[in-house]
Amino acid sequence: MTIADKNIIVILPPEFELYKAIDKNLQYMGFAQWLVLSPKFKHTFKTRVANFVFKHLLGRKEYKRKIVATYYSNTIARHLKSYQALSVDFMVVVRPDLLQDDALNEVARVARKKVAYQWDGLARFPRVFDVIARFDRFFVFDPNDITAYQSQYPNLLACTNFYFDFPMPHVQVNAREVMYAGAYQAGRVASLVKMVDQLQKYNYELNIQLIAGSNSHHFSHPQIKCITRCVSFLTYLESSLKAGMLLDIKACEHNGLSFRIFEAMRYGKKLITDNATVKRYDFYRPENIFVVENGSFEGLSQFLNTPYVPLPLDLVRKYSFTNWLMYALDIPPYQKTVNII
């Protein structure tokens, strides 16, 4: 099977404008037709007034979250209703727990093959358990979820995250720059601060950005910049490309590997992470990835002074978006990205 005569729809949340990168990669892969649905809610005067009343007068802070969720699902359902039954070869839904029944029914009606990807641990958003059976193939990136739930859900499959493999512009790399950008989460900040404090000792240029939220107003650090607007994913990729080294902070809720780990692989960057699970993967090399375990930075100086070791090209390609999608859709040839050793 080839994809040159196939069409595909990818559905995902609008955060960080990740849909723009997916759109570029689908075009790069050569699908006959492709569409990325990622509707973003915008307040009207009516909803803005209603949100003020619910939030500030009635103390119901969940109102905006509910109308955003309803808008997202309803917009997708409305768009899919314009398609004839079984007219879409492939449908890939990221975070399918965000879709309500009407949208899920439309996915089932129009798609020949339905694939889902939950890029958070399953237990973090329990509604996902209600939708797993509605897909042909349902992927998770936390290996613990396979161990815990695959016996209940035979369509549950393991994968990793990926890097985007569409061409990137040539940039001048600053070997002394260390880059990190991520959302503020109280459980992760302490680990980030420890990394930053350690790296200051070696006179690196630190480009560290935290997307500030309502719980971060009290946080400050001289080497960490808090920003109020999300950086688009494409802008983040360009910043990563310019840096000499990347940082990665593990989410508290799961052990899956973040996008940063795979971006470091694609761009040939050294990486510092506190996710020890990475040591169990076939691409791990201690010369390239320093793992902070139990808060220990022993060996960091040696790591910083050790050259990056290039990986075999076939191994790097294994973690590309192209290979990830071919595996998800079960279109050979591909390499399974399930490789914990």
Mean pLDDT of 223-232: 86
Whether 7-162+320-329 shares its CATH topology with 174-317 is answered: yes
**Cα 232 from Cα 183, distance rounded (Å):** 12
Question: What is residue 49's predicted lDDT score, i.e. its pLDDT?
Answer: 47
Question: What is residue 56's predicted lDDT score, i.e. its pLDDT?
Answer: 46
Percent of the chain scored above 90 by pLDDT? 76
Band (pLDDT 50/70/90 cuts) for residue 303 is very high
Mean pLDDT of 254-271: 93
Band (pLDDT 50/70/90 cuts) for residue 214 is low
> Strand, coil or helix: what is 46?
helix
Give 21's Cβ-side CA count (13 Å radius): 23
CB environment 49-59: b (16+ within 10 A), e (fewer): eebeebeeeee
Structure tokens at 253: 């809720």
pTM of the entire predicted model: 0.92
Architecture of domain 7-162+320-329: 3-Layer(aba) Sandwich (3.40)
Q: Name the least confident of 49-58, 221-230, 250-259, 332-341.
A: 49-58
Band (pLDDT 50/70/90 cuts) for residue 340 is low
Question: What is residue 154's predicted lDDT score, i.e. its pLDDT?
Answer: 96
Burial of 303 (0-12, 13-18, 19+ CB in 10 A): middle
- Report the 10 Å Cβ neighbour count for 130: 12
Per-residue model confidence as pLDDT tens digits over 147-185: 999 999 999 999 999 999 999 999 999 999 999 998 888
E-state strands within 172-269: 174-183, 205-211, 224-227, 243-248
Q: What is the CATH number of domain 174-317?
A: 3.40.50.2000
Q: Domain ranges for the chain, please list them.
A: 7-162+320-329, 174-317
- The mean pLDDT of the chain is 91
Per-residue model confidence as pLDDT tens digits over 32-83: 999 999 999 776 655 654 554 446 455 666 656 788 899 999 999 999 999 9
